[in-house]
Amino acid sequence: MTAGTSNGLSFVALDDHDAALLAALQAEYPTATLSPATDTLEAWSQTLVAFLTGAVQDIALPLDIPGTPFQWRVWRALQAIPYGATSSYGEIASALQMKNGARAVGHACATNPVSLVIPCHRAQRSDGGLGGFRWGLWRKERLLGLEIGDRRLETGDRRFVEIGEIRGRERRFETGDWRFVEIGEIRGRERRPEIGDRRLKTGDLKLQFTQLPFSTNLVSIL
């Protein structure tokens, strides 16, 4: 759901249900008067849809949101993170010359009212974990996969997704009679894996594949 004024976007939220989106909008701006979308707001929404489908990478849309000076410093730092890159809460705090300010940065991310435009999904924990995300961690994971450049591959009637960069500890898990291994860190985008059994390699680089447990349609922008 998107909402805005004549000056810019004020609200971009992600959820599965219209009622929850409307409730979140009213909680964010309890004194606002709501009216139907204008052509300008519709155009801004289409830009966000294009981002979610991978058609555009940079979102340069005007914003009209309230925030403290500190929140705006963090939000501008988030907007400075390039498409396909990530930064830790601690790194952002250090860039803002805030010693031990990672928690405060995380809180500023959590209060971001315009998802995607202020890309708080690019902020992670220092250990490579996803951290938090106001609109659901699975959406954060999908957004990062979109930006990094995941590719969908077919093996018989099983579908897999290759992630360009994965950080974190090695994890092993079972899916039916197929075993998958997530490697702690994988880098690179252009790979030509040979699909045979469950163990895949390109040169000396192991690859990780996981079944998609969700729809490829991330969210509908209304």
What's the longest Cα–Cα distance across the chain? Answer: 60
Q: How far apart are CA 113 and CA 110, in angstroms?
A: 8
The label of the residue with tokens 């690859």 reads 207
Query: Which amino acid would we find at residue 185?
Result: E
Closest CA relative to residue 143, chosen from 168, 169, 124, 125? 124
Cα separation, 109 vs 119, whole angstroms? 9
Find, among 103, 100, 109, 99, the residue nearest to 73 by Cα. 109
User: Distance (Å, rounded) from C-alpha 140 to C-alpha 12?
Assistant: 14
Angstrom distance (rounded) from CA 39 to CA 45: 10
Classify residue 162 as exposed, middle or buried by CB count within 10 Å of its CB (0-12, 13-18, 19+): buried
CA atoms within 13 A on the CB side of 100: 0
Q: Which of the residues are catalytic?
A: 120
Distance from C-alpha of 106 to C-alpha of 91, rounded to nearest angstrom:
11
